Amino acid sequence: MRSPTISVWSTTLQDALQAASGYCHIKRQIEKIVGKGVVSEYIRNDVHSRFADREGKLISQYRNSAGLLTQRIQAVQRFAPFRATVMQYQWNEATARVCPDYTLP
């Protein structure tokens, strides 16, 4: 049986990675559309506004999950510093794989 702590960590990490992946996907889509040669300001603004709502939700989801992960790591740090280091490493590595091209919010 999995411990509740591991389950919460896994679920929260998956939420953060899903949000990070979605955020980077939107960034790639915008770059594909806007990055094609000379694009008028109207089109550029239209593209950004079409993605703004979804991007905002993903940023919020990522920040919330990141905050929970940080809190969990800090709590674990008090009684198991090595485990906290492994958790931080796991989060950093997974995020880097999911979104290598962009800085997450």
Instruction: Say how many residues make up the chain.
Output: 105
The model's pLDDT over 17-57, given as tens digits with 9 standing for 90+, comes to 999 999 999 999 888 888 776 777 777 778 778 889 899 99
| Residue 17: predicted pLDDT | 96
Predicted TM-score (pTM) of the model is 0.84
- 104 to each of 24, 77, 84, 99, how far by Cα in Å? 8, 24, 21, 8
- Side-chain-side CA neighbours of 76 within 13 Å: the count stands at 18
Q: Report the greatest alpha carbon distance in the chain.
A: 57
Comparing 1 with 37, the larger pLDDT belongs to 37
d(CA 71, CA 21): 22
